[in-house]
Structure 1
């Protein structure tokens, strides 16, 4: 059944029916026979994410298993979580992606999902940059305050779109993913992706940045005419990454406080090429902030920041 179609009454399968035994066997077999390492389950087992009317969402039947919609939903989600547990036990190295379509609602992610699955392809934004890039950051900005951002994947920004750099850096706020045909990329564009992705991996290896996501009261919600940003900063290791975005703002330069630092430490800020941007005391960045210049609208800058020494006090 095409859940992306324009039909007014898309049909979904019932996880409490004998169909479950069939689809479970097929998924386990496909993973085992093909050595699958990442499994994205992108169809409905409980209710359709595209049916907003609760009167037509899920099962309202009364059967020997359940009486009405509420019991159906409770038992269905319990069974779905057990399915994830069994899949993870059988294939411990498998990354299980419970998409919003499988969980049954737009933009949905919660602690029950990430307790039993690994990641959630939480939504799709198909608009070209800069709007699509901004949409991605806005969703991450709202959800990342509560849910670990590394558990979120957000589509569908295209790697070969104009100003794709804006989208890729936006995706560094969660588990980064881009769609598109890499054959359409120029040699220079492929080199750009390789450089930035390798830089992100090094940041994660050194500071475990994928475990962190901060905006505090420093970075506002992304909007069409402002600046925004985020940090992925390890407070224990006192290092990580800072991302800044100039949207449609007329200002070419902004200052941002960096509130996750220690005042008596010294910090080194570098760009993606490893070139020194500046050396600052923690107190300076806490009180006066870090100045960023971006000379064009709808562009981004990303930096590494790391503590080097403890400043000697008199």
Structure 2
């Protein structure tokens, strides 16, 4: 009887706790959002009038960055401007809303004066997070099509005194600018930090690729984030048909105070939000990849069954966990049949062999291109992109007569989906590297050479709409592939994203990783490029989503390649057959150590900047840490000397429990230091490198941890 009573008591306590996670309350005039970390108050139409933010601040402390009245949102419908604070709205309804990642808040539905459309403004807050996530949903109530453009999902007005001592941290929060700033495709995350007030705001834009836009003090004394405007290089446009409902991308913001630098927020609040609440595909993987091999360098498309089998045997001995066959397996771009001259037994026996060696098989596919002699192009030329002159074209390169780009707003979508599903389900494929331009190209700088100008494609009405529409179709494709094979790892390359080293939050919600680069070189120069790219994109972007090529396994300094890659997703190319037995054994030790660190500390879910070590550059030291900030059990630290004249450095580590005792260990298990978390955060430990170009990985282990 007592047991039943206690079970009932804890059940009721749990229900009460769930109910306590309601972060929105309202009356007839105001909506209040508050999760104990941040508070935002919105004035409501009562029942008609304006809609605007009157307060947005951390719950504790002073905050003066924003003005007392913020526009809240803004967009154009059929070239007419609508905004929260300047348009008359009728309040239709307010209700609680939530999402699948513990978000809770409110959705406010408004009606415009002409009764053309309903607008629902949704706000979500998260437990223990400073983030407020926002989106707009429009429903067309009219009998005519509505043209939606220049959408600012978030539009916050600034205190007129704020810009004077404020800098903009753009380009994933890594580059600093002063004065007005108009963002671009690389601004998945931007921050404004006022150094005098020690306050700021972080803006995360979840729109896709080239149609995202964030600006500060650009068109006025405000912060705007959402889709690109109609006068942009790559304009967003969406035609909303009668009765149709359209939801924008989400934008998340974080206000903060009592902080000396925006980098502190990037390494803590932003990283925590992205890991816990963004809803990334990577966060769903119970086991993250730790060591990947790819055939592209030095073999290119010159591969065959025998070569792949030989490479797989050597890669398995080296401890690789994923084995990706790159270009050259197919009979043509577009048809994506197996070249039986190269792979006479098909791919399934090859994949089965790779699995028998303890690795997951992967495959490269150009997801949106076909050659003129392919069967699919000859049968369906209407599925392909047209340029501004109405001619079939390749978006990928200026001169690319060998390939045409397919438009995902046509029958190509179902066609390529069937091919990819067959590869995954019938052949046992577990990793897809999906490549080449589908919306824009990293290698073409004429903005008009983008999207699709065809007037008869069912998924878009014109060129501007095609930019957004084709991104959305790619995401839908990825989602359907995951639904059919939940464990599938999709590597959506920067070429598919449409910009140099481009990765963003939109992609992360539909694909696990992004092949970010094709760095070449065999010495310390490629190691610097790898570490610089990993630093540049993280911590705004999860480090394990960063697939950074192309270091080769047989290089003389291959061990420094691996150490550098340990700050991202370790991937190696090259010819492992050239390695000696001793070298393969050493490789295996690296691979096993990385996997052991992930099993022990989940290092592949974390990465932070190392205090006192900045951007990796020639002539300096650099480093990173991958400490589990949830368990405080430890993690790893990477330290590198890149041509510096200094031979030694003190290394401090943060995110440890100040009261716990930790051991600093070399990869071979040798303990070099035993200190408390408090000591390590303030005094650290000493690292000495006698070589000008060197690096080392260390384990940080809570004492007593097995």
Q: Tell me the TM-score normalized by structure 1.
A: 0.92
Shift of 1:217: 4.0
Question: In 2, Cα distance between the equivalents of 1:9 and 1:186?
Answer: 41
Indicate the structure (1 or 2) with the bigger Cα radius of gyration: 2
Aligned pair 1:246/2:641, yes or no? Answer: yes
Residues 253-283 of structure 1: CA distance to partner in whole angstroms, max 9, x if unpaired?
1112212223222111111111111211223
Aligned pair 1:147/2:538, yes or no? Answer: no
Question: In 2, Cα distance between the equivalents of 1:30 and 1:222?
Answer: 40
* Residue number among 399, 417, 431 corresponding to 1:8 in the alignment: 399
Give runs of aligned pairs for residues 198-209 of structure 1, distance below 5 A: 198-209=592-603
* Residue number among 448, 468, 477 corresponding to 1:55 in the alignment: 448
Residues 168-187 of structure 1: CA distance to partner in whole angstroms, max 9, x if unpaired?
11111111101011101122
Aligned pair 1:296/2:687, yes or no? Answer: no
Which 10-residue stretch deviates more, 280-289 or 175-184?
A: 280-289
Paired residues of 1:12 and 1:47 also in contact (CA < 8 A)? no
Which 10-residue stretch deviates more, 151-160 or 5-14?
A: 5-14
Aligned pair 1:31/2:424, yes or no? Answer: yes
Shift of 1:109: 0.9
Which 10-residue stretch deviates more, 199-208 or 261-270?
A: 261-270
Question: In 2, Cα distance between the equivalents of 1:270 and 1:306?
Answer: 8
Higher relative contact order (CA 8 A, sep 6+): 1
Partner of 1:112: 506
Partner of 1:227: 621
Which 10-residue stretch deviates more, 28-37 or 282-291?
A: 282-291
Partner of 1:124: 518
Aligned pair 1:95/2:486, yes or no? Answer: no
**Structure 2: 5+ residue stretches without partners:** 1-369, 372-393
Paired residues of 1:137 and 1:170 also in contact (CA < 8 A)? yes
Partner of 2:89: none
Aligned pair 1:180/2:574, yes or no? Answer: yes
Partner of 1:193: 587
Partner of 1:17: 410
Partner of 1:258: 653
Shift of 1:9: 5.2
Partner of 2:72: none
Aligned pair 1:269/2:660, yes or no? Answer: no
Partner of 1:134: 528
Question: In 2, Cα distance between the equivalents of 1:114 and 1:246?
Answer: 32
Shift of 1:232: 0.4
Paired residues of 1:12 and 1:46 also in contact (CA < 8 A)? no
Question: In 1, Cα distance between the equivalents of 2:412 and 2:559?
Answer: 43
Question: In 1, Cα distance between the equivalents of 2:596 and 2:457?
Answer: 55
* Residue number among 165, 178, 181 corresponding to 2:559 in the alignment: 165
Partner of 1:44: 437
Residues 223-275 of structure 1: CA distance to partner in whole angstroms, max 9, x if unpaired?
11100010000123220001100110122111122122232221111111111
Paired residues of 1:137 and 1:222 also in contact (CA < 8 A)? yes
Per the alignment, in what secondary structure is the counterpart of residue 566 of structure 2? helix
Partner of 1:312: none
Which 10-residue stretch deviates more, 220-229 or 98-107?
A: 98-107
**Structure 1: 5+ residue stretches without partners:** 310-314
Which of the two has greater strand per residue?
A: 2
Shift of 1:143: 0.7
Q: Tell me the TM-score normalized by structure 2.
A: 0.42
Paired residues of 1:294 and 1:301 also in contact (CA < 8 A)? no
Which 10-residue stretch deviates more, 293-302 or 226-235?
A: 293-302
Residues 62-91 of structure 1: CA distance to partner in whole angstroms, max 9, x if unpaired?
335424332001110111111011000001
Paired residues of 1:48 and 1:58 also in contact (CA < 8 A)? no
Which 10-residue stretch deviates more, 18-27 or 129-138?
A: 18-27
Question: In 2, Cα distance between the equivalents of 1:292 and 1:64?
Answer: 61
Per the alignment, in what secondary structure is the counterpart of residue 291 of structure 1? strand
Partner of 2:81: none
Residues 4-58 of structure 1: CA distance to partner in whole angstroms, max 9, x if unpaired?
x975357422212323332221111111221011111123333333222211122
Question: In 2, Cα distance between the equivalents of 1:150 and 1:236?
Answer: 17
How many pairs does the alignment contain? Answer: 309
Paired residues of 1:166 and 1:298 also in contact (CA < 8 A)? no
* Residue number among 274, 278, 296 corresponding to 2:673 in the alignment: 278
* Residues 146 and 123 of structure 1, relative CA distance in 2, 3 Å threshold: same
Which of the two has greater helix per residue?
A: 1
Residues 153-210 of structure 1: CA distance to partner in whole angstroms, max 9, x if unpaired?
1111111112111111111111110101110112222112111111010000010000
Question: In 2, Cα distance between the equivalents of 1:124 and 1:69?
Answer: 30
